[in-house]
Structure 1
Amino acid sequence: MMRSFSLALLSTLLMLMNPAAAQAAGTVEARSASQCQAIAHAIPGATFAGYTPAALAPASKAENGEVTITLLGHATFFIETPGGVAIATDFSGAFPTPYTPDAVTMNRAHPSHYTLNPDPAIRYVLHGWSDTPGEKAKVHLQVGDTLIRNVVTDIRSGYDGGGENGNSIFIFEVAGLCIGHLGHLHFELTDQQYGEIGRLDVLMVPVDGGLTMGADSMSRVVKRLRASLILPMHRLGPPMDQFLAMFGSDFDIGYAPGATIKVSLASLPSKPLIYVLNWQGSGQAN
């Protein structure tokens, strides 16, 4: 009891004395602990899915606990939470957001996944790499109703952030959901990385035929993560068909009429669903 009171008091004092410390203060609040990791570790081998089977639909009137996800293009999704937090993933500025997000995440494999000159109005600019050689990017931040954290992976040499610890898988924990974005994933994950990720309900996965990983390798990652909803990204042309062909009767495949969906714990499909959002963009997947 006394420890909980002390932590809460510390958090309050940090924010009063230094607004910039509010970001760090989130890490001492009980709510900032990862529920996605805790549940996965407590029930090893379990498959997590919604209790009420329901087909995902395009955006409609918001309900409590719903998260709105829009594919803006390439690897950039715009996530809007029930608490009013807006997040753009793999943000480069190339794909306009509906309004200024509270937070953006970035990966440094290509300039199409990051920018070093973001809008100053964006409060939290979260890099998936460290500028200090040999160090890992460390993100564990509470923004409103959302916990944002990362799991670092390597990328192949020859890329902008090349080599060791050059990519981050960002995970967004909100409304009881665990939402993961694989970024520019170049290698299959280790057991340790799977453990750091924990449970995922929604997975954003690059499908590009080999610019990240080939269909066979990427499909193994998807199957191991066991998310209820899989949203392909970073895609263009035939690689999508090659990726979808890797999945049998254990997965459903659906095609959205638009680029936006709403998802909640109650609406998660009971059987894993690969849901292809209808984004009509152009340009190479890189």
Structure 2
Amino acid sequence: MPCDLRRLKPCRGQEQRKPTSQCQAIAENVPNVTFASFSNDAPLTPAVSEGEDVKFTFLGHSTFEIESPGGIVIATDYNGWYRPATMPDVVTMNKAHPTHYTLTPDPAIKHVLHGWSDVPGEKADVDLVVGDAYIRNVPTDIRFSYGLGGSQENGNSIFIFEIAGLCIGHLGHLHYELTDAHYSEIGRLDVVMVPVDGGLTMGADSMSRVIKRLRSSLILPMHRRGPPVEAFVSMFGKDFDVANAPDDSITVSMRTLPKKPLIYVLKGVQ
């Protein structure tokens, strides 16, 4: 079988290369850095040319279906309840809460990516190329559930998907504000999926500070429990646009990202 480094097939007598991130910052641990997204003056409309569109569909809670131009289907925070119409090639999971993962996924799913490590004291380490999608993770700590107090180190992963030039981040069950080291490790995010529950993860004020620093072009709220989305949206000023979507999906590309950061509330989150 011929080797294919892009698809992670090892070459005989040749060490496999680690994928290179196009979104990660070159400088490490840069204090107070803000990474600019590659946006332009184009309105948020579907692209015309083929091979650059990425489609996002909100399935429920914190599960999105992401479809790449090459037809790779990814389901985020997959718990087995919210499923894409077609079998996903990749599912990512978060161990913070039962609604964010399942230990019994469909065996037909080729790539099941955990946001935690099964080895005590170690971090989850994801560096995977599947078709035209490169997937990596940035671990963060989480609070213990059920009022036990304390923190579990590296119990959450921010999954990052690099597809068609877009840098896409899913914050998972984020419990603490990010550090300078986290921002450096994440790099640029053009699209970010953010929990807006107002307390099960972080309060709206803390979460808004994270989003303002990331300064992504497109912000997709998720994980809404309790307070309305407006409680989260109210934390942003004139530097951000806000729109309610007519349906549960949106298709974007590098050239159709909004120039001004847009909080886009998909149907089902409202």
Q: Normalising to structure 2: TM-score of the pair?
A: 0.88
**Which of 119, 122, 128 does residue 132 from structure 1 map onto?**
119
Shift of 1:16: 7.4
Q: Counterpart in 2 of 1:178? A: 167
* Structure 1 unmatched ranges of 5 or more: 1-5, 18-23, 282-286
- The answer as to 2:67 corresponding to 1:88 is no
**Which of 139, 145, 148 does residue 152 from structure 1 map onto?**
139
Q: Counterpart in 2 of 1:276? A: 265
> Is the contact between residue 104 and residue 122 of structure 1 (CA under 8 Å) also seen in structure 2?
yes
- Ranges of 4+ aligned residues in structure 1 off by more than 6 Å: none
Q: Secondary structure at the residue paired with 2:256?
A: coil
Q: What CA distance in whole angstroms lies between the structure 2 residues aligned with 1:49 and 1:125? A: 30
Shift of 1:158: 2.5
AA paired with 2:145? G
Identity of paired residues, percent?
61
Q: What CA distance in whole angstroms lies between the structure 2 residues aligned with 1:112 and 1:211? A: 12
Q: Deviations over 1:237-285 (max 9, x none)?
A: 534111000000000001100001101001100000000000179xxxx
**Higher helix proportion, which one?**
1
Q: Secondary structure at the residue paired with 1:241?
A: helix
Q: Counterpart in 2 of 1:20? A: none
Q: Normalising to structure 1: TM-score of the pair?
A: 0.83
Q: What CA distance in whole angstroms lies between the structure 2 residues aligned with 1:85 and 1:224? A: 30
Shift of 1:49: 3.6
> Is the contact between residue 40 and residue 199 of structure 1 (CA under 8 Å) also seen in structure 2?
no
Q: What CA distance in whole angstroms lies between the structure 2 residues aligned with 1:133 and 1:49? A: 38
Shift of 1:47: 2.1
Q: Deviations over 1:71-92 (max 9, x none)?
A: 0000000000001111000000
CA RMSD in angstroms, aligned pairs only: 2.6
Q: What CA distance in whole angstroms lies between the structure 2 residues aligned with 1:184 and 1:45? A: 22
Q: What CA distance in whole angstroms lies between the structure 1 residues aligned with 2:4 and 2:257? A: 35
Q: What CA distance in whole angstroms lies between the structure 1 residues aligned with 2:217 and 2:106? A: 34
Shift of 1:131: 1.1
Q: What CA distance in whole angstroms lies between the structure 2 residues aligned with 1:202 and 1:280? A: 17
> Is the contact between residue 215 and residue 239 of structure 1 (CA under 8 Å) also seen in structure 2?
no
Q: What is the count of residue pairs matched by the alignment?
A: 259
* Structure 2 unmatched ranges of 5 or more: none
